[in-house]
Amino acid sequence: MDIREQEREQEIVEDCLELLRQGRSLKECLAQYPDDAAELEPMLRVAVSAQSDLAATLPSSARTRIRDRVMSEWDRQHQPSRWNLRIPSFLSGWALSPRVAFATAILVLALTLGGLGTTTAAANTVPGDVLYPVKEFREGVQLWFARSPEAKVEMYTSLVKERVDEVSKIAAQDQADVAAISDALARMEGHLTALNSVVDSNVTDSGAGADDSGFVKALQESIGDQDAAGGLLIEALDRVPEDVRPAFTNALNAIQSAQDRVHSALETVGQSGFNDR
């Protein structure tokens, strides 16, 4: 049977199933396609059996039991909380630990008294600058505090944006430093690899991870931010020397691949697409 013939048969089967769904009989369906009736009848009989055999009903007792379970869970989740403080996601998991709270307070104090000026100045540096290691250290500390999957996704995505901003800054200079651009792009790819790893380890094929709405939201936002990062790289591409362009291609491919990973993870947790496993 050629493809067109197959498609025609599929259409006829679907037409008949739709008629059956509307309450028409098998005989009536077949009467509309007399030339194909002999071929179609066995298959449609199978369809009719499957249609009736699979149409089980939800017993009222089961319906009530399920509703009771679900609504108890609703009540449990919607109990008024004693504390209504919004804890930043990067601190989640730590906020209740007195030791960590103390350490954080000391760190904040130290940065305020001694290093605030330095870290602020370092924020605008690019690879190769004297204060760049300070920026790296600050990012390392932030990464250390990012414990939850949601916070990690946010952190790595923000680091990707930071590296792309650095590339844009370097590319805007009269004589762009090729080594600095390559360095920033390599670091950016490293962040994307780390992001992929967070995504892979927190979203399984079975959809685990879907329960964490904050994580799902972070993934959705990450896609948008990666889009913006890719756009900035493409804009910068026109301003950089020819010999650094292959590094841009690699970086753009890495962004594309990370976006595919996140899209696929979102599909797995039921936000879009379908898990075919």
Partner 1 sequence: MSIENRDEEALVLSAQGGDRDAFAQLYEANAERIYRYLLARLTEPADAEDVTAEVFMQAMKSLPSYKPTGSPLIAWLFRIAHNRAVNYMKKGGRRKETLLTETAATYDSPEDEVLEKVRMGEVIGAMGALTELQRQVLSLRFSADLSIAEVAKVMNRKEGAVKFLQFSALRALRRVWNLQEASSHGH
Binding positions for partner 1, rule: CB under 8 A: 6-7, 9-11, 13-14, 17-18, 21, 42-43, 46-47, 49-51, 53-63, 65-67, 69-71, 73-75, 77-78, 205-208, 210-211, 213, 216-217, 220, 267-277
Q: How far is CA 72 from CA 56, 68, 83, in A?
A: 26, 6, 22
Q: Which is nearer to partner 1, 127 or 209 (CB)?
A: 209
Closest approach of Cβ 276 to partner 1, in Å?
A: 6
Closest approach of Cβ 83 to partner 1, in Å?
A: 18
At 64, the amino acid letter reads: T
Closest approach of Cβ 274 to partner 1, in Å?
A: 5
Q: How far is CA 120 from CA 12, 116, 261, in A?
A: 70, 6, 34
Q: Which is nearer to partner 1, 6 or 193 (CB)?
A: 6
Q: Which is nearer to partner 1, 49 or 249 (CB)?
A: 49
3-class DSSP string for the chain:
CCHHHHHHHHHHHHHHHHHHHCCCCHHHHHHCCCCCHHHHHHHHHHHHHHHHHCCCCCCHHHHHHHHHHHHHHHHHHCCCCCCCCCCCHHHCCCCCCHHHHHHHHHHHHHHHHHHHHHHHHHHCCCCCCCCHHHHHHHHHHHHHHCCCHHHHHHHHHHHHHHHHHHHHHHHHCCCCCHHHHHHHHHHHHHHHHHHHHHHHHHCCCCCCCCCCHHHHHHHHHHHHHHHHHHHHHHHHHCCCCHHHHHHHHHHHHHHHHHHHHHHHHHHHCCCCCCCCC
Closest approach of Cβ 43 to partner 1, in Å?
A: 5
First to last CA, the chain: 30
Q: Which is nearer to partner 1, 1 or 113 (CB)?
A: 1
Closest approach of Cβ 16 to partner 1, in Å?
A: 11
Q: Which is nearer to partner 1, 37 or 100 (CB)?
A: 37
Q: Which is nearer to partner 1, 78 or 99 (CB)?
A: 78
Residue 171 · residue 203 · CB < 8 Å: no
Closest approach of Cβ 145 to partner 1, in Å?
A: 24
Q: Which is nearer to partner 1, 14 or 235 (CB)?
A: 14
Q: Which is nearer to partner 1, 57 or 175 (CB)?
A: 57
Closest approach of Cβ 76 to partner 1, in Å?
A: 10
Closest approach of Cβ 187 to partner 1, in Å?
A: 31
